[in-house]
Structure 1
């Protein structure tokens, strides 16, 4: 198979690293802070996944080009002054893309290691959301996954099951991966655009 998995991994790393570095710059962090936030955002979820599944060496240790790429991006983001003009709200696109990519790849790896669909879906959600949760926590923000006005982890969970269904019905790994990633990416954007939530505050009876 054309290495679509590796292409998706690098796409996810870049997307999540961008989302982390944008917030880091908005918080006036120095280059070390920009690299740290970009690193934990891009690789935190995969690290947790590998530790839980006892999958060693950790993926980013085996593929050192990923942290090297993040380091190069951190240098650009720290010294390219135009980055300061990018509003923090612009993290939506890279964050949604990173969520989709890492959720599906996390679930796919769990299946390859022999885990059930349900366990694979939980590991996929962890892979897709944990890096962003670390990013927001380190930047003194309420993580997106915990915000009542956001639909986030549930989209990731649903995307895993769509991926499983496509894999079972289509028997085409590349197409199933692509459908799962695109579903999460598009639904996440639509959820923000149309303010879709799992729960809304109840208005007091007058």
Structure 2
């Protein structure tokens, strides 16, 4: 799991979303088992759906037990250190944004490795980045961010388009990955700070 840049990015994305899921579950006052389940589905939800769609079976976390161990360790450490973190909402937001960028790149690259259409690769990147959060929010009985006025999935689509554009102009793959991760992370922060959103459709 840790032998390449892509693997390291996936590891960091797993950790980021495990922290995000753990904080979300703690905010809803779930018990320890519930917290671990939410951390797990947040970390692997998007990647599981992606792998099912492209037929890469068994899905990634079933082939590598280290993924499950990383999620478990991250969640336990997050619970242990929660008393040292005062602003849970800020922490949740930052790790969710970081995970969004990291996993979008993972999904994009996997689509490219399978030789899929660029548009499909962007869709896979968006699914990988967003659907863990959708599963988390659904289990916590919260309307997922992707279905609210807040700009969320669009940031992944923008990042995916930039990634493919950088590759088209033969920018180094690893450099392109880090540029896009930073772009998604920073754009998400700017969007939230300035309360940018699409208009709601009223009935």
- Greater CA drift, 77-86 or 13-22: 77-86
- Greater CA drift, 88-97 or 68-77: 68-77
Aligned length in residues: 200
Counterpart of 1:182?
Answer: 182
Contact 1:170–1:176, Cα closer than 8 Å, also in 2: no
Separation in 2, partners of 1:87, 1:10: 22
Contact 1:31–1:74, Cα closer than 8 Å, also in 2: no
Counterpart of 2:45?
Answer: 44
Structure 1 unaligned residues grouped into runs of 5+: none
Contact 1:9–1:102, Cα closer than 8 Å, also in 2: yes
Give RMSD over aligned pairs.
Answer: 1.8
Contact 1:104–1:177, Cα closer than 8 Å, also in 2: yes
Separation in 2, partners of 1:89, 1:100: 17
Separation in 2, partners of 1:45, 1:110: 13
The Cα of 1:76 is off from its aligned counterpart by: 2.9
Residue 28 of structure 2 is aligned to residue 27 of structure 1: yes
Counterpart of 1:7?
Answer: 8
Separation in 2, partners of 1:59, 1:81: 29
Contact 1:106–1:120, Cα closer than 8 Å, also in 2: yes
Separation in 2, partners of 1:98, 1:81: 19
Whichever of the two has the greater Rg, that structure is 1
Counterpart of 2:19?
Answer: 18
Contact 1:111–1:117, Cα closer than 8 Å, also in 2: yes
Counterpart of 1:192?
Answer: 192
Counterpart of 1:113?
Answer: 114
Separation in 1, partners of 2:87, 2:41: 21
The Cα of 1:141 is off from its aligned counterpart by: 1.2
TM-score (norm 1): 0.91
